[in-house]
């Protein structure tokens, strides 16, 4: 299972299989009506409330991955960045890669049925 599929699964977003091979599928013209949006913020805030550490998942990919119980080490983040198509220029600088990765993960969660507020997508 890919790292992004693991993120989808942890959040209860049902299209984990579709996200695993996006290049193998043509995007539908309209989202299927059978997919109901998942309130990602509510799920993450609920997890954060019961987590021992205070995590800033709204801006930090490391904290987001920790909150979901995933490996947040540099090698795991590089693997996720590669999986999601991070530009090579950003991969050379971990801070730039992390910012790109957080924004991209949030956008891809929204693309896969996650209800993500606009302020977390910009």
98, part of any domain: yes
Residue 44 lies in a domain: yes
Q: What's the total number of domains in the chain?
A: 1
CA–CA–CA angle 5, 1, 102 (5° rounding): 35
Cβ neighbours around 26 below 10 Å, total? 7
> pLDDT digit string (tens) for 60-91?
999 999 999 999 999 999 999 999 999 999 99
Element (H, E) at 98: helix 94-111
Position 42 in a domain: yes
Flag whether 76 is in a domain. Answer: yes
What range does the domain containing 74 cover?
3-21+37-116
Would you state the pLDDT for residue 121?
Answer: 87
Look at residue 100 and tell me if it is in a domain: yes
Residue 28 lies in a domain: no
User: Does the residue 27 lie in any domain?
Assistant: no
In a domain, 32, yes or no: no
12-38 pLDDT per residue, tens: 987 544 444 444 334 444 444 445 678
DSSP for 58-86, please give it: TT-HHHHHHHTT---SHHHHHHHHHHTT-
What global pTM score does this model have?
A: 0.80
Check: CB of residue 31 under 8 Å from CB of residue 111.
no
């Amino acid at each position: 299972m890919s790292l992004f599929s693991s993120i989808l699964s942890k959040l209860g977003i049902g299209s984990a299989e579709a996200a695993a091979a996006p290049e193998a599928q043509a995007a539908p013209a309209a989202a299927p009506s059978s997919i109901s949006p998942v309130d990602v913020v509510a799920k993450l805030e609920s997890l954060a409330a019961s987590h021992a550490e205070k995590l800033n998942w709204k801006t930090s990919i490391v904290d987001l991955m920790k909150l979901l119980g995933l490996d947040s080490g540099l090698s795991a983040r590089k693997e996720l960045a590669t999986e999601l198509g991070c530009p090579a220029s950003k991969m050379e600088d971990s801070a730039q890669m992390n910012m790109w990765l957080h924004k991209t993960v949030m956008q891809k969660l929204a693309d896969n049925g996650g209800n993500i507020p606009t302020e977390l997508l910009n």
